[in-house]
């Protein structure tokens, strides 16, 4: 950890932690759409979650304790907080309750290993907007993030233009010449990956790692199938997914 909270810029080619700039209330780096605070003491979980969100173009600050989380909140404004319950210096629910009493209304998704109904009710009554039970699939986490931000009116902040199309990850749509087209979950995730680094070639293995969980059985042609489906959604746009023979795929036309 670096002096309170790690600030992670969106991933282009590498993840580089830098010290938080305490003089900025909000910070836009590259194509940052939103800024998230991740409060989780387990580096084994925090790092992949942080990297996943950064791949989607978001800025992510990582705090391993409630004290560090408070430092981050004192220095910056966030669009969403991902909060663990059991932390080295206290209970995440009490921390959340204190934030709500202070009038802070930043959306919060609690990450918990407790699956009982009473535990989930307790989390929601503490002020959480949603919860996700550990261990979780990253696709579910992304879907819950989109849903919470959509309910809180965050969709307008995340619309991105690429060439002649508009992409909204929260509503899972691309708009081409006023024609709004819905993306299914993996089409959405695939487009987010490619759009995060236009022109960069992604191998099939790289795309598999980011589209599927470790427990899933993936067919040999799964990537071709999803690329084909996404290409159909982009028909009529200058944006296109190129096949680079022997290497993988890349997004061009922006």
Ordered strands of the 165-168 beta sheet: 160-162, 165-168, 173-176, 179-182
Same domain flag for 96 and 133: yes
Same domain flag for 137 and 44: yes
Residue 8 has pLDDT above 70, yes or no: no
> For 141-171, how does the pLDDT look when each residue is reduced to its tens digit (9 = 90+)?
988 988 898 887 654 457 889 999 999 887 8
Q: What mean pLDDT value characterizes the chain?
A: 84
Q: Is 181 helix (H, G, I), strand (E, B) or coil?
A: strand
Least confident of 97-101, 106-110, 122-126, 212-216: 212-216
Same domain flag for 146 and 181: no
Are the C-beta atoms of residues 240 and 234 closer than 8 Å to each other? yes
Same domain flag for 84 and 133: yes
> For 45-82, how does the pLDDT look when each residue is reduced to its tens digit (9 = 90+)?
999 899 888 877 789 999 999 999 999 999 999 999 99
CATH number at residue 227: 1.10.10.10
Indicate whether 1 belongs to any domain: no
CATH number at residue 84: 3.40.50.2300
Domain count, the chain: 2
Q: How far apart are CA 240 and CA 33, in angstroms?
A: 22
Could you tell me the pTM of the whole model?
0.63
Q: How far apart are CA 100 and CA 121, in angstroms?
A: 17
Indicate whether 43 belongs to any domain: yes
Q: How far apart are CA 187 and CA 139, in angstroms?
A: 12
Containing structural domain, residue 53: 6-155
pLDDT at 234: 97
Q: Is 137 helix (H, G, I), strand (E, B) or coil?
A: coil
């Amino acid at each position: 950890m670096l002096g309170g909270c790690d600030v992670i810029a969106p991933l282009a080619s590498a993840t580089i932690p830098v010290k938080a700039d305490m003089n900025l209330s909000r910070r836009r780096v590259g194509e940052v759409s939103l800024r998230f605070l991740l409060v989780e003491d387990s580096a084994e979980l925090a790092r992949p979650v942080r990297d996943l969100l950064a791949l989607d173009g978001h800025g992510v600050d990582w705090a391993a304790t409630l004290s560090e989380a408070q430092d981050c909140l004192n220095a910056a404004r966030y669009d969403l907080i991902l909060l663990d319950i059991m932390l080295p210096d206290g209970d995440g629910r009490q921390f959340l309750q204190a934030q709500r009493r202070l009038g802070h209304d930043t959306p919060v998704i609690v990450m918990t290993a407790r699956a009982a109904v009473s535990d989930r009710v307790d989390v929601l009554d503490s002020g959480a907007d949603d919860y996700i039970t550990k261990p979780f699939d990253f696709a579910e986490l992304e879907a819950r993030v989109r849903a919470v931000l959509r309910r809180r009116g965050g969709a307008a902040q995340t619309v991105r233009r690429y060439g002649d199309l508009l992409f909204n990850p929260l509503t899972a749509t691309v708009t081409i010449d006023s024609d709004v087209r819905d993306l299914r979950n993996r089409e959405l995730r695939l487009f987010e990956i490619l759009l995060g680094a236009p022109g960069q070639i992604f191998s099939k293995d790289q795309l598999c790692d980011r589209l599927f969980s470790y427990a899933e059985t993936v067919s040999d042609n799964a990537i071709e199938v999803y690329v084909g489906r996404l290409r159909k959604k982009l028909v009529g746009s200058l944006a296109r997914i190129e096949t680079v023979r022997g290497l993988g795929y890349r997004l061009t036309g922006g």
